[in-house]
Amino acid sequence: MDIKVGQVLRLKKGHPCGSFEWEVLRTGIDFKLKCKGCGHLVMIPRVKLEKNIKEIKD
């Protein structure tokens, strides 16, 4: 899967704030994502993230 910094991902499971969209801040073995709703930052392993992606927006 080709995911680049700056792209917005729509995940299957929503964040507790109600948003489903996350901005990619860092890629590699782990991804650093920022919630588009509340700004919360999380680190997610690549394997787990790729399973949960519903849509990739540019």
Q: What is the pLDDT of residue 31?
A: 97
C-alpha 52/C-alpha 12 separation (Å) is: 6
Q: Report pTM.
A: 0.90
- Give the per-residue pLDDT at 1: 81
| Strands across the sheet containing 21-26 | 41-45, 30-35, 21-26, 8-11, 53-57
Distance CA 39, CA 7 (A): 15
- Average pLDDT per 10 consecutive residues for the chain, totaling 58 residues: 94 95 96 97 96 93
Per-domain boundaries in the chain: 8-57
pLDDT score at 15: 94
Residue 58 has what pLDDT? 80
Q: How far, in Å, CA of 39 to CA of 2, rounded?
A: 24
